[in-house]
Amino acid sequence: MSQRTRGNVLAMSISLSIIFALYFSWQRLLPLILRELGATDLQISYSYSAIILSMGLSQYPGGILADRLGRKPVIVLSTYGIGILYLLATTQHSWWSFVIMIALANALNALYQPAFTALMAESVATGQRGAAFALLEFFISIALTIGPAFGAWIMPITGFRVLLAATGFVALVMGLVRQRFVVETMSLGESTAPVIHLKQFSDRRVILLIASNTFYTLCHSLLLFGPFISLYAKDRLDFTPSQINLMFATGSMVGIFLCQLGGKLTDRYGSARALRTAAFMYVASLLLWLRLPHFLWATLCFTISYAFFQVTMIAGGTLRADASPPGARGAVLGVVGGLAQTISALALPLGGLAVERWGLGAPFFMAFGFMSLGAYGTCVLERLMARSSTPQASA
């Protein structure tokens, strides 16, 4: 890690965790908030689809901007925009206008994700990337523990609008923090390509990375990134909103203690192998969770699932950084994330239709199928990366 950039990982991790602590005080209950604003369950699935689609469409231009303007400007300006949009969302009283504000905020969040991942990868040596992303997930886990627990306590008193306003204000403050403490990495590493060429995406490793990442994103969209866990917990397990928040908080709390272990396992056994093993256990545990109506047992099973999910996030971020070419890392990461988010937006309406036909458990089994396809893709990708000595391996 260079002298100038060694603080980037800490600065980005802490600032993101502070934003997330407020964001996840209400986000896990977004399906119930949309119900409160008048949306039906099918409209909720379409709303999530619109949110995810907005994220997918913004990642590719975000990657180009990251390669042309630099990592830091994209990150800082997007953070300011996110804060403003959350403040505007507090003034909306219809579910569709509220969704528009949230979708735009998530689009800006996705816009800077390629820059974020590239900056994290370029701030450390190649062999330390697993540890860097583990540190990031450590701080995120703290936020995901504090946020839902805080929301479970305060939301019955204040309502969701106060928490949403607090999220917007904190995002603006963290924009100032990032502007002050984050160091640009683009000029310190490899020179980036000013023009994006199709040949950069013809490499079989990049194609497999796009495919496997898309399948894993489809899986996440139906599970922890989607509405169906909260809806199932409310309608089938009869959990209260506070219990749902506490369940998510408990899972995140265990994740705090597993982040460093996840980073070490990723660095030792390889990101692809760690990703597919953890993803299988993550989804399998949630399938068991469907059959545990008692709150304590369900929370224990959910916590185990969340622990494996934590490893998938660490290994997934490391794999994307390892498999993307350094000369156009931002653009490739934008394509990888953008295509995955755009395609996964289709999963939520399909999940909503599956719920109407087969019940609320159907999206969980769909997620298992997508996870299996992603695991096969990472198997092939791992063999390709092992057979060749590439520039990525020494980036």
| C-alpha triplet 347, 106, 275: angle, nearest 5° | 55
In a domain, 53, yes or no: yes
Instruction: Give the pLDDT confidence score for residue 187 in this predicted structure.
Output: 64
CA dihedral 185, 187, 188, 189 (to 10 degrees): 90
Residue 194 is assigned to a structural domain of this protein: no
| Total domains present in the chain | 1
Nearest to 9 by CA among 174, 124, 87, 167: 124
Domain limits at 65?
Answer: 8-182+199-394
**199-223: pLDDT as tens digits:** 555 667 778 888 898 999 999 989 9
Evaluate whether residue 323 is within a structural domain.
yes
Residue 188 within a domain: no
Q: What is the pLDDT of residues 240-278, one digit of tens each?
A: 988 998 898 888 787 777 777 777 788 788 888 899 999
Cα–Cα separations (whole angstroms), residue 324 to 35, 203, 209, 274 = 41, 10, 8, 18
* Residue range 335-383, pLDDT digits in tens: 777 778 788 877 778 888 888 889 889 999 999 999 999 999 999 888 8
Q: How many degrees, rounded to 5, is the angle at CA 227 between CA 158 and CA 130?
A: 95
Among 60-64, 68-72, 324-328, which range has the highest average pLDDT?
A: 68-72
Q: What is the CATH number of the domain that holds 223?
A: 1.20.1250.20
Supply the pLDDT for residue 388: 63
How confident is the model at residue 159, as a pLDDT? 86
CA distances from 172 to 11, 168, 257, 295, 390 (A): 15, 6, 29, 37, 40
187 in any annotated domain = no
Q: How confident is the model at residue 191 (pLDDT cuts 50, 70, 90)?
A: very low
Q: Is residue 146 part of a domain?
A: yes
